[in-house]
Structure 1
Amino acid sequence: MMCEEKRIFEPQLLSFVDPEELHESWIGFEHEGGGRLWECSQLMSVAALVEANRHTIVLMQSSPNRATRTFMDYGSISQAMDGICGLYERKLKEINPTIQNITYDISDLYNFIDGLADLSALIFDHSIQAYLPYDRLWIKHRMFQHLKRLASQ
């Protein structure tokens, strides 16, 4: 029974590691019959817990008018990504009220995000007890990872 590790991060640095990167770094396990797979799964579960507990504030300005500035409050990054998708879906329904089933792809969602005057996120980092800022490009990258994860479930 062998679990060949292709670790990038040490477990003690878990609180400083982006859970998405940790998950991706552990996917490359080659195992025969299980071996240390339980340890790998345990670390991915810890990463999922860290991810789920990251309070996220999305800051948005829909037009150049400063009066359109708003924020949305979420309990996790995943919920924030769902919230941004929900904003886009509501806009699509407003534009196409007679269409029952509206479909879109990631490029449509990216165009929506790019069409906003401003979009950023503040994500709570427990290790430093502070919010860290993330820009539009980071949000688009995270959105892709989030939707990819949902599609694989």
Structure 2
Amino acid sequence: MVSFELNDTKKIGIGLTGFGVFFSFLGIIFFFDKGLLAMGNILFIAGLMLTIGLKSTMLFFAKPKNYKGTISFGVGFFLLLIGWPFFGMILEAYGFIVLFSGFWPTVAVLLQRLPILGWIFRQPAVTSFFTGYRGKRVPV
């Protein structure tokens, strides 16, 4: 059963996930700095584990439909660590998209309901991008 209350552990996990995304973004901005990218990946995975739990994280990455994304993400992280950050990030990005592709409709609804920027994501050109994805309609 999934608990939706935000205890201190989940708050720390959300913070670590945010810092992981931030450090990964900085690593890309600074011409694929492997130190920042590696720290971003570690913080992202640690934050995910604290947010949804260790068991749920392991089950998510070990699902048979997620094997391709998990292997791509892992090989990309390995390439990043051995000094090939550009190719590692390409593989990691592919793995990330494959792993989290089921969450895109939910992200689209969240973006459309943002108070200030939501109107951008409700424009026909943007909504057609999300509704065309795997044939799923995104309610507004």
More strand by share: 1
More helix by share: 2
**Under a length normalisation based on structure 2, what TM-score does the superposition of the two structures give?**
0.26
Structure showing greater radius of gyration is 1
Higher normalized contact order (CA 8 Å, seq sep 6+, divided by chain length): 1
**Under a length normalisation based on structure 1, what TM-score does the superposition of the two structures give?**
0.25
